[in-house]
Amino acid sequence: MTDLDRRAVVTGVLAAAAGLGLAGCNQTAQTASGATPVSASQTTMRVADSPQLTGSYAAMYGPVDGEPFPIAGVNLAKIDPVYLRREVTISTKEQPGTIIIDPANHFLYLVLEGGKAMRYGVGVGREGFAWSGAASIKFKREWPDWYPPPEMIAREPKLAAKLDHLQSGLGMKGGPGNPVGARAMYLWQNNKDTLFRIHGTIEPYSIGKSVSSGCIRMINQDVLDLYARVPLESKVVVLGGSGMAVAQL
């Protein structure tokens, strides 16, 4: 597989190694020298919507009980329905259990058995923060802490007032006001932290847009669902270019 595009500067202690934080989702990304983006043509995939949804959207995206912190229901009128969770038909060479991220079209697919996949809408990196390649999930964290890099704090001085000195540095403890949401999955390649994550968000209405600094953000209800489905070491493929070809049933 291709090498995953790396961050230009890595600052501070790797939060995943400390087992506590979410660092790097706001650092500048660059294409690694010699790296080749993973394209849809290389993975030979076609996708089509299935008429069968996964259940009542009102219930699916309603308030979540049983968590350490409250998770509010989502106002579905503010989200394009195409980005809501649903089961789709998929043709791919990837094995069941693989996560395929299509940043160009703002979708994340979890490959299932029988030519099916669970599709989720995602928010992805702004232009200049895009990345592609293959990795695996090394760590999973519930209500993770967040460690914004110094470059981000310099760009947003008011952010400093919201941060505390935590175990891995200056950051924000996990909770309902933390921008990385209820869950995080940490992407590693070749035994190294890529500093990219799949995580929740407190801004569900940003789903379907290119607004983050490289990480993959999901509605909290969706990241809870994905987190429960995937074990450690699950393969993650991030497509480059125009993403996957889509066919209508």
Q: Is 190 helix (H, G, I), strand (E, B) or coil?
A: coil
Q: Do 127 and 135 form a contact (C-beta atoms < 8 A)?
A: no
For residues 210 and 178, what is the distance between their CA atoms, to the nearest angstrom?
A: 20
User: What tens digit of pLDDT does each residue of 30-59 get?
Assistant: 333 334 455 554 555 677 776 666 668 999
User: What tens digit of pLDDT does each residue of 53-91 get?
Assistant: 666 899 999 999 999 999 999 999 999 999 999 999 999
Q: Do 46 and 91 form a contact (C-beta atoms < 8 A)?
A: yes
- The pLDDT value given to residue 144: 95
Please give the tally of structural domains in the chain: 1
CA dist list (Å): 85 to 92, 104, 109: 19, 18, 10
For residues 169 and 71, what is the distance between their CA atoms, to the nearest angstrom?
A: 27
**57 within a domain of the structure (yes/no):** yes
Token pair listed for 97? 């259990």
Bigger pLDDT: 218 or 242?
218
Token pair listed for 106? 């703002």
- The pLDDT value given to residue 242: 77
What number is the average pLDDT over the span 231-245? 88
Inform me whether the pLDDT recorded for 136 exceeds 60.
yes
- The pLDDT value given to residue 160: 81
Confidence category of residue 128, pLDDT binned at 50, 70, 90: very low
User: What tens digit of pLDDT does each residue of 14-24 get?
Assistant: 333 334 355 55
**2 within a domain of the structure (yes/no):** no
**83 within a domain of the structure (yes/no):** yes
Least confident of 27-36, 95-104, 116-125, 185-194: 27-36
**27 within a domain of the structure (yes/no):** yes
For residues 224 and 234, what is the distance between their CA atoms, to the nearest angstrom?
A: 16
What CATH number has the domain bearing residue 142? 2.40.440.10
**3 within a domain of the structure (yes/no):** no
**9 within a domain of the structure (yes/no):** no
Inform me whether the pLDDT recorded for 120 exceeds 90.
yes
**6 within a domain of the structure (yes/no):** no
- The pLDDT value given to residue 240: 85
Structural domain containing residue 145? 15-31+42-246
**1 within a domain of the structure (yes/no):** no
